[in-house]
Amino acid sequence: MRRRVVTQGDLITRINVTPIIDVALVLVIILLVTAPMLSVADLKVDLPPAHTRELEDERNVSISLSESGEIAVDRDVIVPAMLGRVLRDRLAEPGNAGVLVVVRADSGAPHAAVRSLLAEARAAGATRLAIATRQKVGGGR
């Protein structure tokens, strides 16, 4: 009788992670397929119409204040003393009842002048006021 010589090779000392990864990927795929179905109820809902940002931007009154103190309402440069009257006239125009009044002030303009513009706009009958800013580009603070 011949004996077989069994050589001892390298022992398997690591866990085979391939089946674990396969199971994990299958679970992720199942989650991705079923998640959209769980987030929406089966109720039939008729959503109300909304004003888009583009439509609102067409119907606003813009007050611009330069660093030197010059004031313009929309595209017309006016004397600062005339702001209240010009703004009342613009707000009295047909279709401008609840229009957004946007104050565009230069970053170098005095803070008190901007506060004064906001107060005059409120006194002229503006019910919706906004201050225009430049959108920050990038992820910095």
Domains of the chain in sequence order: 53-131 (3.30.420.270)
What is the reported pTM?
A: 0.55
- Asked if 83 contacts 110 with a C-beta cutoff of 8 angstroms, the reply is no
Which residues lie closer than 8 Å to 62 by C-beta, 6 or more apart? 72, 73, 74, 101, 102, 104, 132
What is the spatial distance between Cα 96 and Cα 125, in angstroms, rounded to a whole number? 11
List the chain pLDDT tens, one digit each, 141 residues.
666 665 666 777 888 899 999 999 999 999 998 887 765 555 455 555 655 555 444 578 888 888 888 888 888 888 888 989 999 988 888 877 788 888 888 888 888 888 999 999 999 888 889 888 776 555 555
Give the distance from CA 78 to its chain's centroid.
Answer: 33
